[in-house]
């Protein structure tokens, strides 16, 4: 199928990946993700997700199956979002920080939402602290992305 061309334009179409605005956005995003602040946030987010995934075994509440599985799934999801922040497609994935924020908030309320018995000391403190850290990291990531969009 032939491409429609307007008068005065060539039939050769340039790939959107090579558009000057896209190239500039990628370069800007690469500079933003290579800063010490961005790398620290990404590293801490990775550690927070891994801790949440393993928290039931670390703090000793693995007998509470529902919360153990919930924390494992949420931790893995948070790590996957973190991996999205780290890759070269940062300009497309910084929006995932809002999903990561949701994971952090749910982590805080999970001991009350997920049915079953739980040790109030270990599970609540563990989930609230790591959930709070996740919320803070997600907000910082969202701010870095929003700041890049405004300044870029």
Write phi, then psi, for 101 (nearest 5 degrees). Answer: -60, -45
Average pLDDT over residues 2-26: 59
pLDDT tens per residue, range 53-75: 999 889 887 777 888 899 999 99
The contacts of residue 94 (CB under 8 Å, 6+ apart) are 85, 141, 142, 144, 145, 148
pLDDT at 106 over 80: yes
**pLDDT for position 73:** 95
Average pLDDT over residues 23-29: 62
The residue whose two tokens read 């300009």 is: 91
Q: Considering the chain, what is the average pLDDT of its residues?
A: 76
**CA gap 34, 112 in Å, rounded:** 39
pLDDT at 149 over 60: no
**CA gap 5, 27 in Å, rounded:** 31
Domain boundaries, the chain: 20-151
Burial (CB < 10 A; 0-12, 13-18, 19+), residue 72, is middle
Q: Which two tokens stand for residue 87?
A: 């890759």
**pLDDT for position 124:** 86
Write phi, then psi, for 30 (nearest 5 degrees). Answer: -65, -40
In angstroms, the Cα distances linking 151 to 29, 42, 70, 115 are 11, 21, 38, 45
């Amino acid at each position: 199928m032939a491409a429609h061309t307007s008068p005065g334009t060539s039939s050769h179409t340039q790939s959107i990946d090579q558009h000057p605005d896209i190239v500039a956005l990628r370069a800007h995003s690469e500079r933003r993700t290579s800063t010490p602040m961005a790398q620290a946030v990404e590293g801490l987010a990775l550690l927070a997700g891994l801790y949440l995934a393993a928290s039931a075994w670390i703090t000793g509440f693995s007998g509470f199956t529902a919360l153990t599985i919930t924390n494992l799934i949420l931790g893995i999801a948070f790590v996957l979002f973190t991996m999205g922040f780290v890759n070269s497609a940062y300009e497309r994935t910084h929006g995932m920080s809002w999903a990561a924020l949701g994971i952090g908030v749910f982590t805080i309320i999970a001991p009350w939402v997920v049915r079953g018995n739980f040790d109030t000391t270990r599970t609540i403190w563990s989930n609230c602290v790591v959930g709070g850290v996740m919320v803070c990291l997600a907000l910082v990531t969202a701010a870095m992305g929003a700041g890049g969009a405004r300044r870029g």
